[in-house]
Every structure is written in C-alpha cells, then in structure tokens.
Amino acid sequence: MAKKKINKNSLEYPREARRTLKPSYDPESFGRWSERFARFLGTARFLVFMTAFVLIWVIWNSLAPIDLRFDNYPFIFLTLLLSLQASYAAPLILLAQNRQADRDRIQGNQDRDRDERNMADTEYLTREIASMRNDISQVTTREYLHSEIRDAIEEIVKKLNKKS
C-alpha cells in the first residue's frame, strides 16, 4: 500500500516558527507610520515645536555662561541636527506621497469602472425608453378605439336600417 504524502503547507498543520536573527519588516505598518510622521510634519504643532526648539537652542548657546554652552555661535551642531531631520523627513514624505498616489490610482480605476458601468446602464435605459416610446406610439389609444367602434356601430345601424 502506498504511503500518503503529507503536505506541510496544508491548513491542517500549524506553520513552523521561523527562528532567525533577522528583524521582521512589515512594509504596510512602516508605510502607515511614515504617513503619520509626514502628516505631523505638516501641522502647526510641529512648526511651533521646531521653532521653540531652535529658539531655546540659540538663546541657550548665546546667553548661557560660556562653560554651559555646548554649541557656539555658528551653531554647527544645530545645523547638523536640522540637516539630519530633513534627510530623514524627505524620504518619509516621499514614501507617504507614493502611497497616496497608489491609493489615488486605485480610486481612479474604480471610479473609471463605475463610470463605464453607469454609462452602459444609461445607454441601456435610453434605448429602452426609446423602444417604449416607439411601442406607445403604435398602441391604439382609447379615443381612437372608441371612435372606430362608434363608426362601426353607426355603419351597422345604417345597414340594419336599409334592410328593414
């Protein structure tokens, strides 16, 4: 008797845990985080925080006693920090924009498909209404039928009167 082959990828068996030192990376959660970060960078709160940070930095390093200053006048370390923040912010903003562009593209495709269906439905209904108008114009109206019956009755009455 042949042995039954066991499919380990089947849903009947639990998946074995991967044991690696490599950190796991979920692009979707990172993308959501980058969108939140980019959204925060575009708020008035961020501008207020950044302005307060820079003002405190400049005031401290300008007016504090010389032995407590850690970044003298050209503020090289502040420039480094702002450049570092900008170098991280730019790609995160671009990532958020790319994700938004992908969502917009999908939404545009769905809108186009919906518009095509609506156009097809509208054309179908237009043809149906035209057909119904055509059919209605060919339907005998009540007044026409009454006049024809009246004429037929008068004709029959005339023929009966001639015979009598």
DSSP letters spanning 85-141: HHHHHHHHHHHHHHHHHHHHHHHHHHHHHHHHHHHHHHHHHHHHHHHHHHHHHHSPP
Does 22 reside within a domain?
no
What is the residue range of 73's domain? Answer: 30-153
Per-residue confidence band for 30, with pLDDT thresholds at 50, 70 and 90: confident
- How many folded domains does the chain comprise? 1
**Residues 54-76: tens digit of each pLDDT:** 999 999 999 999 999 999 999 99
pLDDT of the residue at 16 = 72
Is 52 part of any domain? yes
Confidence of residue 138 (pLDDT cuts 50, 70, 90): confident
Full-model pTM: 0.58
8 lies in some domain: no
Whether residue 50 is contained in a domain is answered as yes
In a domain, 148, yes or no: yes
Q: Is residue 23 domain-resident?
A: no
Domain-embedded: residue 11: no
| Residue 52 amino acid letter | A
The answer, yes or no, to whether residue 1 has pLDDT greater than 60, is: no
Structural domain contains residue 6: no
